[in-house]
């Protein structure tokens, strides 16, 4: 399989601050990256889809000004939670789809997730 | 829109018991179907997949068959191990079920 990393793995911040989460594809080129949010004991909820070099497409109900997504290269996407509040506390997971010589069979590869706690 | 419904947990089994986790889906067309596994503190890993009707995905002793007529993709394993304890998600390409927590006791 292909490897996706996330950084940081956990972060604690004060209310009102901004937090940036990085998602990297380590051994393949990610043409598309996805950002999910997972609440405790619940499923993953797709927040947005980003294609390299273009603006992200946000799912209904997700505030694009609050969750800023940048996908400037084929190996890196970032999610910035702006002016974070306690209700933004969650587990954020990215996944990537792309190619390594050839298309990786349209499969998504998931990062390990980032636990955000806003005090 | 697309949706995935899977058996609610938690499911607790003894080692070597038979496992079934039910999953049904609603989708347009014939999308690929997936089972992911999430071990404690880790991200999701693809367990198996099927790309067309009647395909059987299999991995690590787990199996699931893409049933178009019943829109189902039930996960099965003949003999579970303690190391199989995790949360299992049935999924369409971008739509996930709610997850089923499996605990296997020695």
Given this model, what pLDDT does residue A42 score?
A: 76
Q: What is the mean pLDDT of residues A27-50?
A: 89
Given this model, what pLDDT does residue A103 score?
A: 57
Cα distance between residue A5 and residue A22, in whole Å: 8
Q: How confident is the model at residue A102 (pLDDT cuts 50, 70, 90)?
A: low
| Burial zone of B34 (CB within 10 Å; 0-12 exposed, 13-18 middle, 19+ buried) | buried
Q: Rounded to 5 degrees, what are φ and ψ at B25?
A: -140, 160
Q: What is the mean pLDDT of residues A27-47?
A: 88
Token pair for A113:
């997730």
Given this model, what pLDDT does residue A105 score?
A: 61
Q: How confident is the model at residue A89 (pLDDT cuts 50, 70, 90)?
A: very high
Given this model, what pLDDT does residue A114 score?
A: 95
Q: Taking the CB of residue A11, how many other CB atoms lie within 10 A of it?
A: 17
* B44 contacts A93? CB cut-off 8 A: yes
Cα distance between residue B17 and residue A35, in whole Å: 36
Token pair for B96:
């996930």
Closest CA to A27 of A114, A113, A112, A104: A104
**Residue to test with chain A: of B23, B32, B44, most A Cβ within 10 A:** B44
Which span out of A32-41, B12-21, B22-31, B88-97 was modeled with the highest average pLDDT?
B12-21
Q: Is residue B64 within 8 Å of residue B57, measured between CB atoms?
A: yes
Q: Taking the CB of residue A59, how many other CB atoms lie within 10 A of it?
A: 14
Tell whether B89 lies on the interface with A, counting CB pairs under 8 A. yes
Q: Is the pLDDT of residue A1 over 80?
A: no
**Residue to test with chain A: of B43, B86, B101, most A Cβ within 10 A:** B43
């Amino acid at each position: 399989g292909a490897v996706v990393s996330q950084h940081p793995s956990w972060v604690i911040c004060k209310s009102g601050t901004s937090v940036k989460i990085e998602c990297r594809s380590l051994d393949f080129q990610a043409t598309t990256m996805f950002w999910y949010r997972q609440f405790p004991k619940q499923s993953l909820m797709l927040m947005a889809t980003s294609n390299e070099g273009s603006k992200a497409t946000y799912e209904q109900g997700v505030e694009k000004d609050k969750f800023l997504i940048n996908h400037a290269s084929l190996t890196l996407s970032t999610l910035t939670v702006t002016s974070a509040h306690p209700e933004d506390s969650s587990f954020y997971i990215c996944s990537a789809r792309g190619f390594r010589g050839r298309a990786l069979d349209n499969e998504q590869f998931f990062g390990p997730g980032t636990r955000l706690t806003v005090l | 829109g697309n949706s995935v419904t899977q058996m609610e947990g938690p499911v607790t089994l003894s080692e070597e018991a038979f496992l079934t986790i039910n999953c049904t889906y609603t989708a347009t067309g014939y999308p690929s179907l997936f089972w992911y596994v999430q071990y404690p503190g880790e991200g999701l890993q693809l367990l198996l997949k099927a790309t067309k009707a009647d395909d059987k995905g299999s991995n690590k002793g787990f199996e699931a068959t893409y049933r178009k007529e019943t829109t189902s993709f039930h996960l099965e394993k003949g003999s579970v191990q303690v190391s199989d304890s995790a949360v299992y998600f049935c999924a369409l390409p971008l739509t996930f079920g709610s997850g089923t927590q499996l605990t296997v006791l020695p």
